[in-house]
Amino acid sequence: MLSIGTCLGVEMFGRSVFLTDEDRALLLKVSSLLEGIVETLEILKDEDATESIRRAEEDVKAGRVRDYDDFFEELKHSGEI
């Protein structure tokens, strides 16, 4: 049974529809997932960004990476920060 306090009435297609707290939570999750998909598609259509990601993945596989703390210390010693 639904409590009036947990429902939100909205107008859809000329009809009133009631959304529960669970419905709203699910809609927020779906909205977040769709936003992530759109962002991913935007990155994939950017050839420069896609190429940069591919090169970065190759660097990781080849071991051409540094630990964040080591990198930070290197920047401090070089006077860049």
Q: What is the pLDDT of residues 30-63, one digit of tens each?
A: 999 999 999 999 999 999 999 999 999 999 999 9
Whether 30 and 4 map to the same domain: the answer is yes
pLDDT at site 22: 92
Task: Compute CA distances 78 → 65, 70, 71, 75, 81, whole Å.
Answer: 18, 12, 11, 5, 8
Task: Compute CA distances 44 → 34, 37, 41, 61, 76, whole Å.
Answer: 15, 10, 5, 21, 35
Chain segment 4-31, per-residue pLDDT in tens: 446 667 666 778 778 888 999 999 999 9
Name the residue with higher pLDDT: 3 or 48. 48
Domain span at residue 72 reads 46-81
pLDDT at site 1: 43
Whether 1 and 25 map to the same domain: the answer is yes
- 3 pLDDT above the threshold of 60: no
Q: How many domains does the chain have?
A: 2
Asked whether residue 59 is assigned to any structural domain, the reply reads yes
